[in-house]
Chains A and B, each alone.
Chain A
Amino acid sequence: MESAVRLRAAVTLLGRFPALAGVDLDITPGEIVLLKGPNGAGKTTLLRLCAGLCSLSTGQGWVLGHDLNSERRMVRRRVALLGHRTGLYDDLTVTENVSFWARAAGADSIDVDEAMERLSLTGRLADTRVARLSAGQRRRASIASLVVRRPELWLLDEPHAGLDQQTRDTVDALVRGAAAAGATVVLATHELERIAVLEPRVVSVVGGVVRADDDPADSESPDPSSEAEDDRRVS
Chain B
Amino acid sequence: MIFRGERSGGRAIPWRPSNVHRGVSGFRFPVGRLPDEALLSGLATGDPELAELFVRRFQHRVFGVAMAVTGDQQLAEDVAQQTFERAWRHAQIYDSRRGSVGTWLTTIAHNLAVDAVRARRTEPMAPEDLDPLLDAVTETPERWALADEASTQLRAALARLPREQARALMMAGIYGMTAQQIADAERIPLGTAKTRIRAAMAKLRTALASPKGGGHVR
| A, B in one complex | no
Q: Residues of B with Cβ closer than 8 Å to A? A: none
Q: Residues of A with Cβ closer than 8 Å to B? A: none
